[in-house]
Structure 1
Amino acid sequence: MNKNCFANKNNRCKILNDIQCANNSCSFFKTEEEQEESINRANARIASLDKAVQKSISDTYYNGKMPWLEGDK
């Protein structure tokens, strides 16, 4: 497993069920920085949606919280 992958925890993948990626060639590989940027892009996209849609996403996936909005982390 690639030691620079955001999902590497004690040399095991914390995202996938596989213990290790074959030959360090995981198609889900991202660095910590790439993962953070991906989350930021997703949060920006959700924040751009209509408030009713944001509320639905919040209720369905975040127990009513809206972490994509400033101050609600």
Structure 2
Amino acid sequence: MDESNCFGYYKGKCQILNVRKCQDPECAFYKTKKQFEQDRQKALERINSLDELTRERIIELYYDGRMELLEGEEAS
């Protein structure tokens, strides 16, 4: 596994965990950039499938109330 393929690896270090060196094979957070984007898309599709009140609560809680983060996200 090459740490530079990990979505969280940037400028020579992990941006997800507070570690000096990548833990590659043991890292539970390792995923490729493509896997990360696919997972993100699935999460956005799920949020968009919820009723309006639930969706608004999630947007407020996790997206700092910024609806535009979900708008324009199309299902692939």
Tell me the TM-score normalised to structure 1 length. Answer: 0.81
Q: Could you list the runs of 5+ residues in structure 2 that have no partner in the other structure?
A: none
Aligned structure 1 segments of 4 or more residues deviating by more than 3 angstroms: none
* RMSD, matched Cα: 1.7
Residue type of the partner of 2:61?
T
1:6-52 CA distance string (max 9 Å, x none):
11112210000112233x21221111111111100000000011100
**Map of 2:16 onto structure 1:** 15
Q: Could you list the runs of 5+ residues in structure 1 that have no partner in the other structure?
A: none
**Map of 1:2 onto structure 2:** 3
- 3-state secondary structure, aligned to 1:60: helix
Name the one with the larger helix percent. 2
Tell me the TM-score normalised to structure 2 length. Answer: 0.79
